[in-house]
Amino acid sequence: MSRPLLTMQASMLHKFIQTALLITGCFFVSSCENDDKVLNDWTRRVVMKEEATNVVSYMSQDGELRAKLTAPLMIRTNDDTISVEFPRTLHCDFYNDSTRKLETWLDCKYGIYYENLNMVYLRDSVVVISVKGDTLRSDDLWWNQSTKLFYTDKYAVYRGPGKNIFGGKGLEATQDLGRITFKETTGNLKVSENGMPK
């Protein structure tokens, strides 16, 4: 084979490789362009939701029954803070730690449980009633599952045997309504001869 023929074949091979690289480069450039919708679908944040109807749930701690919850609808959302929402009423029975007997029950029209915080927010016609007949009413109430305390900064009313107390700026109460502390109060109490409440 002569030298000019080899040079010509090398030149053609060089041009072929250049053309192939150019075409391949065009494919890469065109494939790097993504549709905005496709990109948004890949990168959007997805919040998972689970729904359940006619819910009956038992809450226990250290193997002991603490509460029984019933609700017509429950929505569990896996977000930054996992929450369980009860948008269509909520009823909860609370049990005594040592005797496992019913001590109070609660009704409201809306509730949401923040799982990571062990806190429950209740609103709209919240009523807590003890087996002794004590009744606590508020439009807005928090329940701390860890400390077993109810509290609010809103208006609340407490009624018990011989007691009617109205709190203008909130309260803190134990789960069994055995101890209630109002921040601002008005109302009437039956008192004994020594001036202490009966």
According to DSSP, residue 161 is labeled T
Residues pairing with 104 in the sheet:
94, 130
77 with 46: CB under 8 angstroms? no
Rounded average pLDDT over 132-157 = 90
* Residue position matching structure tokens 């040592």: 98
**Spatial distance between the Cα atoms of 106 and 150, rounded to a whole number of angstroms:** 11
**Spatial distance between the Cα atoms of 47 and 29, rounded to a whole number of angstroms:** 34
**Three-state DSSP class for 136?**
strand
Give 183 or 198, the one with higher predicted confidence.
183
Q: What percent of the chain has pLDDT over 70?
A: 73
**Spatial distance between the Cα atoms of 89 and 71, rounded to a whole number of angstroms:** 6
pLDDT of residue 129: 95
Lowest mean per-residue pLDDT among 33-37, 61-65, 172-176: 33-37
pTM (2 decimals)? Answer: 0.69
Predicted confidence (pLDDT) per residue in 13-44, tens digit:
667 677 766 666 655 555 555 667 776 766 67
Exposed e or buried b per residue across 166-191, where buried means at least 16 C-beta atoms within 10 angstroms of its C-beta: ebeebbbbbbbbeebebeebeeeeee
Does residue 84 have a pLDDT over 70? yes
* Residue from 146, 114, 111 nearest 127 by CA: 111
126 with 112: CB under 8 angstroms? no
